[in-house]
Structure 1
Amino acid sequence: MGTSGGGGGHERPLPSGNRASPVALAATPATSMSAPWPSVPFATGRPGYRDDLAGAASSRASAALERSTVRALAALRSAGLVLTPVYLAVWNSWYAHEAAAVAVVVAASAWGVLFVVVSLRHGVGVPLAAGTVVAAAAPAALSSVCLPPASAGDTGSWVMLAVFHAGLTAAWALPPRAFAAAETVLVVSVVVGGHDGRPQVFTAVTFTLVVPVLFALAVCRLRESTRRADDRLTSAMLGHRARVLVLALDRDRRERQRLLHDTVLNILTGIAWGGGDDLALARRRCAAGAAAVRHLLAHDHGPPAIGLDAALAAVVSSARERGLTVHLTGTAPLEDGQPADGQPADGQPADGHPADGYPAAGEEAGGPSAAVVAALAGATGEALANVERHAGTGEAWVCLERSPRRLTIRVSDRGAGFQPGRFAPDRLGVRQSVLARVRDAGGLATIDSAPGRGTTVTLTWPDHGANADPRPAAGGPAAGSSAGSASGSRAGAETTRETTAADLRHDYAAGLRVVIAALAIAWQVLMLLPLLVTLGRVHSAATAVGVWLVLAAATVTVASVVRRRPLSGPEAAGMTALAIGAVLASANVDDGDLLRVVNWPLIAVGLLVAFVTASRRAVESLAAMAVVVAAVVATVVVRGVTDPLTVSRLLSLAYGITGLQLIVAMMGPLLRRTADTTARAARAEAETAAGRDSDVMIRRERVRWLGTIRDDVLPTLDALADGTADPRDRRWRRQCARQAGAIRRMLVQGGAGSTPATLAADIEAVVAAAEGRGMTVEVQVAGEPANIPLELRAGLVDLLDRTLAVLPENRALLTLWSDAEGGSVFVSAAWPGQTEPPALTGAVQAIVDVDDGRLTVELRWDTRGPEGAGRRPADAE
């Protein structure tokens, strides 16, 4: 990576002070990176760069729409299969003598059954849709053979039900040109088969053409809605991933501090104070410290996980070796051959990697995970070390208490005691190695002490296994704070998931309502044609016009409402009443035209009821549909029109009304029900990606931050461990004292292994990931970012990663400017003039500008709260 204004190529972190001094970040190629950080969907384009995570998110809502529509089409075809025998029964006198017609019916029904089975198992692809069109077009062209003469060319037949379904299927599954070809085949087939059935064949052709086209337009709107939902889901997913990654990096930084404090610092301090007289013990402790440092540098998974009893036994054994008398109660006896030293010395956790909280292989279900065991054992070991160093007594008690929902460990002594809350600034052991360590694992640590009355440290961990997900996730207090507990993180992750699921449900429902509104308005406009053509065939032309005006006004009004929100209960009841009124308006036509296009209000009632179905619960929509269909049937029965053709038309009308409600009723709830599952899956994928990326970044960051320990302290520990150095020698004791002092200063002042919640370290990690993708990022830093909240840090990490991922060139300039009130991150890179700039939205303000072939992205943050949001930091001067 390039440098600006000086700085060598060696590895070093961003400086904590030194305002306005550009620095170079790590320049070592990221050959160890197993996978790059995934990008957002607009990352088009670096060869070989995969955006698996965003790609998975960007298809989830579309997949939910696919499943819902396929099930609706299968249900619609099933309804047609049910009505076909009814149709045969109505025309039984004709079909009883037409074996060829019955054979066509059986063949068409067999294809319908095949469609239902295949679509539910494999979805509706192009081959199945094309086959459905052919299977409907064939009997339509043979209407003169397979339909009674009076029914040929009429909309009231089983053939037209198959044609309508084929058109809808083609509109869903076929590309535009193929859909146009399919519609042409269906229209020609209807004309050829029903050419003798004029004028009703014109109505059949109109419906064959108009209904699928409107459905195709609706599909386009629905897919656009799901694309917006996918964008929202992708944004939430990447934001959650950045949040989890920032937390993982913070947890690892804290764990580094604890390891250095609990092992290396304690070992060096002990030798400096004259604790190396027991050569064997000193060498074992130095070897354990060297192993712990190498474990950090390697970022491996450490020794095999062991149970809590064995971990506590190992901690107590280590304390006893140092001369402390420890009484251990409440643990189960170790089995023969089970090692008591499965933990590293001094209770160091087996794995410094941020824990996922789940039990490891071989652990008892519902019990604490390996990470929790490591945290409890590590805190216990540090509490015993504090007894040894500060209590002024050589005796301590460790008691483990178990209950069905809780684990409690008490470490007590009868020593000097102290005043809790009055820790010296350099007393890191109590704050980080005991209190914060247990909180990070999802537990609680408390200290009860007073001068002269001893000390009791109580470590409590709730058993999450039976009732909750123990996985530490994003959320909770600001990362880097010792109060950042895993339980708070879980609550934050659940809140994020619920918010995402609620957003998806809103997007799905709103998209469906908008589609219904558009279809209803378009259909009402189309009804102008039959209204004007048939004004001479109604009892009152003024009444017909008045009905159209009322329905049109109501449709437009309700459409404007459902675009903003669902219909309320009274509004849904009003729409149902309006639909019934449209049915009653059919009295304006002659009995002979009762169920023909002349009586167009009956055709419009389906979309009026669809408003209710898209807005209300299933019970309410089912009741509305049943009332309207009953009104239609009653209108026919009251007039006494029961000839087979009228009954066939009634069946088709009922099929159209109920089929439309079936599609809406299935798609709406199915989409809404998938929202929570989709959000859960997206969160899991985000956490998986964050874990993978944090492994890479933690390894790189550990190597950079622990360089001094590796080059200076590790050789000392190795020399003391292998006997080439004598811990009783004053020169070695002075060296240990010097190195211990340096480590303590680094821990207190925010050096290697510390817990700074600074943006600089997170930006360094993002830039390192970009370098792993082959980029060169020149970094300039002016001012040290103050500790900023987790949401802002995660938002900056998310948007900065997206920005670097979308750049078409492999070189960029990154400038970080900040002060106590906020700051900005500027990214500048070459940008093709004909390419649209990326749209960046997130937890922080993003300003994107393209000028003179250069893309500039400014990410602003403000730590002053909502009243300062949106103000440029420089404006405060």
Structure 2
Amino acid sequence: MPGAVEQRLLDQGLRYALGLRVVVIGLSSSVSLALAAMPDRAVAAVVVTAFNVWSLLYAFAMVRGGARARQWLPVADVAAVCGICLSMSWTVTPDPRGGATWVLIALNMVVVTYPWQIGGRALAAATATIIAVYYTGATIADPGGWLADATLGPWTAAEAALSFGLYRFVRRSARTSDRIIERGAELRRAAEIAAARRSGEREYLAALHDTAAATLLMVGNGVVARPEPWLSAQARRDLAELHRSGDAAHGETDLLPLLREAARHTTLRLAWTVPESLTLPAADAVSLSRGVREALTNVARHAGTDTAEIRVRDDGTQVTVEIIDAGRGFDPARIAADRYGVTRSLIERMTRTGGRARIDSSPGHGTTVTLTCPRTAEDDGGDREVITASFQRGLRWAAISITLAILTLLDLPRLLASGAAYTALWPQLVTWTGLIAVTLVVAAATWRDRPLGRWRWPLVALVFALSALATSAVRPEWLLGSAHWSEGDAGWPIVLLLMGGRVPVLVAVLAGQYLMTFGQAALAGDAALSVAGAISATWAVLSYQLAIAMIAAVLRGMAVSSARAVRAAERLRTSEAVAEHLHTDRTGRIAALATTAVPLLEGLASQVLDPGDASVRRACAAEAARMRRLIAGDDAHADALAHELRAAVEQAERAGVTVTFAEQGTRPDLPPQVRRRLVEPAIAALATATGRARLTITSAGETVTVSVVAACAPPPPAPDGDGVRRSVLADGDRLWIQAAWQGEQ
């Protein structure tokens, strides 16, 4: 099945081919009907009108019809083309000076555009049928005359073959783009899934800090002496947030309802300065709302004020949310870098989504928290450049092949067979050799994937000079005729040189080349063709050359739309994959909490558990300590073991315990599961300790020991494992709790 870029190319190519056919055939037939002599103008008018109407209906049906219609419509079209070929007795006057007839231009344009409509075998059969019927009609209209020229059939077949080659080159380029983009998409998808899972984990930890950990720590520290309605409500909100925290946010949403929901449970009196609505990507809106919730929580806990203001503004480049209070303020420089509430829950939360958080405060002057989220332009991930480069390279190779085929297979035989038409043969040979050389220069640059740059225009000037040289050596009576091979075909190297630039420039240069040639013919005072014949002959070649230029422009525009479509499809697939992984992660997290935090929160929410009960306080303190270990262990620290234990020491000291912390020896890197088994007994002990405690980490070779001496509750029983052995010794009201890991010897 075609990939996204290839399918888009096929759809756009079909539309363009049919549009080109309608325009070229319509113009050439109308000009011929108006200017050229015709055996029966009334019949010719009916035939021209009928065929142009058919072309319009055929184009519409091919674009709008289904697969079945596209199977039989080309057969009917071949029959219609054969019909105009057989009508030449009434629609075409045999005259060598008349140039290419409108019927010849029509059948040439039909076979040139067929590759975008039918397969290779069908193209060969259709071309052979049309050529055969054309010769039949030409023989009837002009027995043995100019219309039945033996070279017209091979030329038409060559045009069909060259056009099919162009189609194959460009389609192969689209297929290459699909492969390159898909490989890149797979890498991006894997990276985005990994980043999303990491971000989801960190958001989950932020939710733990903001909700369950804070509530359990409050109960564990004895802040609440008995069941309270507000504590039950808070526990219920914590449970809901834990279940919601891992959900992926997709699409777009209005930021304002999320902000009001985040502020709904605060006891602060809030002043709002916000727009009526503000739509953002859901992930950004959720990040801002949770940042606002944390900032309001900090105001309520620490600012010593019951009022705050929330301001929201959107300047087109970024969305800014400010939370302002006139409370007691603080000195941000005195806040430890590893304090979670400021540096992790606020600042890192915004950093994860590409935003920023800034905290401006000073003692006695209140605090302003500024959260910003950029409005970034849609990124196609570089796909546009990949598609553009592939399309242009494929089209350039197709044009190179066409140019070389025309110069070597068609023009060289005509040149060598028309010696009598030239005042001297050498200018024709020099011109032919020069045009071949220019084509090979473009081929070499394309092969090396290097643009011609400043050499493009000197080469264009060289083509003009060669064209003028060849035209000057053609005898007047042969000008613009078949012997004057350079008249139109000198335009092919110009197409090669300028096809990557702006279409108007290419059209102007091509027109300049043709006008120069016509000017030389006019000065000579004679020509092989009439005015109408010259127009017809020129239009037959020029329309093909302009088609290449227009295809290049269409492909450039299509690269942009294709990149957007591919990127949108990739985002959808990535979003689905991310959602699936995040759902799995969230389910695993909830399962991990189901036997520890969730029962405590459910008990507090239903008031089954009494926060004033000593056992409940110890259980809440121990669970809060485990959560703190989990939160602290999320950072990539050089010494993760000591970092996690310091977080437990900080919490114990907040509860009034004096902790002595000592380290000895150099520790090896420990696997996460080993580190968890080493620290959990000490964390549980510090969470319930009173008075003084001593925490020690000792390392000797491949042995690491964590021990704590404190007046505390016994740690919950747990089996040894992962090379860690635990022990508990009692000395009066104090316990000596030790966990030792013995590495491989």
TM-score interval w.r.t. the shorter chain?
Answer: 0.7 to 0.9
Q: Quick check: 1:583–1:601 contact (8 Å CA) kept in 2?
A: no
Runs of 4+ in 1 over 6 A off after TM superposition: 297-301, 303-306, 782-785
Deviation, structure 1 residue 212: 1.1
Q: Letter of the aligned partner of 1:633 in structure 2?
A: F
Q: Quick check: 1:80–1:161 contact (8 Å CA) kept in 2?
A: yes
- For 1:791-870, list aligned pairs within 5 A: none
Could you say which residue in structure 1 is the equivalent of 2:620? 736
CA deviation digits over 1:402-458, x for unaligned, max 9? 455354433546558355374264x322222222223445543223456x6576241
Structure 1 pair 179–574 and aligned structure 2 pair: CA distance change class (3 A): same
What SS is found at the alignment partner of 2:514?
A: helix
Q: Letter of the aligned partner of 1:235 in structure 2?
A: R
Could you say which residue in structure 2 is the equivalent of 1:835? none
> For 2:100 and 2:565, how far apart are their aligned partners in 1?
46
> For 2:293 and 2:671, how far apart are their aligned partners in 1?
36
Q: Quick check: 2:477–2:527 contact (8 Å CA) kept in 1?
A: no
Q: Quick check: 2:271–2:310 contact (8 Å CA) kept in 1?
A: yes
What SS is found at the alignment partner of 2:322?
A: strand
> For 2:55 and 2:291, how far apart are their aligned partners in 1?
67
- For 1:430-829, list aligned pairs within 5 A: 430-440=342-352, 443-449=355-361, 456-461=367-372, 468=375, 490=376, 494=379, 497=381, 499-526=382-409, 527-563=411-447, 564-568=449-453, 571-572=456-457, 574-575=459-460, 577-579=462-464, 581-582=466-467, 584-641=469-526, 646-750=530-634
Could you say which residue in structure 2 is the equivalent of 1:133? 78
Deviation, structure 1 residue 711: 1.9
Q: Within the alignment, does 1:270 sit opposite 2:270 as a pair? A: no
Could you say which residue in structure 2 is the equivalent of 1:288? 237
Deviation, structure 1 residue 502: 2.3
Flag structure 1 segments of 5+ consecutive residues without an equivalent: 1-40, 42-54, 318-325, 333-362, 469-489, 757-781, 786-877
What SS is found at the alignment partner of 1:598?
A: coil
Q: Letter of the aligned partner of 1:150 in structure 2?
A: D
Q: Letter of the aligned partner of 1:224 in structure 2?
A: R
Q: Quick check: 1:567–1:615 contact (8 Å CA) kept in 2?
A: no
Structure 1 pair 129–594 and aligned structure 2 pair: CA distance change class (3 A): farther
> For 2:73 and 2:458, how far apart are their aligned partners in 1?
40
Q: Within the alignment, does 1:316 sit opposite 2:229 as a pair? A: no
Q: Choose the corresponding residue for 1:64, options 9, 12, 17.
A: 9
The TM-score normalised by the length of structure 1 is 0.65
> For 1:589 and 1:380, how far apart are their aligned partners in 2?
83
Structure 1 pair 132–641 and aligned structure 2 pair: CA distance change class (3 A): farther
Deviation, structure 1 residue 729: 0.6
CA deviation digits over 1:685-710, x for unaligned, max 9? 22222222211111111222342211
Could you say which residue in structure 1 is the equivalent of 2:309? 399
Q: Within the alignment, does 1:328 sit opposite 2:270 as a pair? A: yes
Cα RMSD, aligned residues only: 3.6
Deviation, structure 1 residue 679: 1.9
What SS is found at the alignment partner of 1:410?
A: strand
CA deviation digits over 1:79-104, x for unaligned, max 9? 33222232233334x44x45444433
Q: Quick check: 2:213–2:627 contact (8 Å CA) kept in 1?
A: yes
Deviation, structure 1 residue 727: 1.2
Q: Within the alignment, does 1:114 sit opposite 2:27 as a pair? A: no
What SS is found at the alignment partner of 1:400?
A: strand
Q: Within the alignment, does 1:193 sit opposite 2:160 as a pair? A: no
What SS is found at the alignment partner of 2:416?
A: helix
> For 2:517 and 2:578, how far apart are their aligned partners in 1?
64
> For 2:295 and 2:277, how far apart are their aligned partners in 1?
28
Say which one has the larger Rg. Answer: 2
Deviation, structure 1 residue 664: 1.7
CA deviation digits over 1:144-181, x for unaligned, max 9? 443213369x8610110111011112233221211111
> For 2:575 and 2:126, how far apart are their aligned partners in 1?
49
> For 1:262 and 1:189, how far apart are their aligned partners in 2?
83
What SS is found at the alignment partner of 1:597?
A: coil
Q: Letter of the aligned partner of 2:131 in structure 1?
A: V
Q: Quick check: 2:291–2:345 contact (8 Å CA) kept in 1?
A: yes
> For 1:705 and 1:746, how far apart are their aligned partners in 2?
12
Could you say which residue in structure 1 is the equivalent of 2:199? 251
Q: Quick check: 2:488–2:538 contact (8 Å CA) kept in 1?
A: no
What SS is found at the alignment partner of 2:485?
A: helix
Structure 1 pair 175–299 and aligned structure 2 pair: CA distance change class (3 A): closer
Deviation, structure 1 residue 500: 2.3
Q: Quick check: 1:543–1:588 contact (8 Å CA) kept in 2?
A: yes
Higher RCO, 1 vs 2 (CA within 8 Å, ≥6 residues apart): 1
- For 1:369-408, list aligned pairs within 5 A: 374-386=286-298, 391=302, 394-395=304-305, 397-403=307-313, 405=315, 407-408=320-321
Structure 1 pair 560–454 and aligned structure 2 pair: CA distance change class (3 A): same
Q: Letter of the aligned partner of 2:343 in structure 1?
A: R
Could you say which residue in structure 2 is the equivalent of 1:184? 128
CA deviation digits over 1:295-341, x for unaligned, max 9? 3478799x998626633642422xxxxxxxx4533468xxxxxxxxx
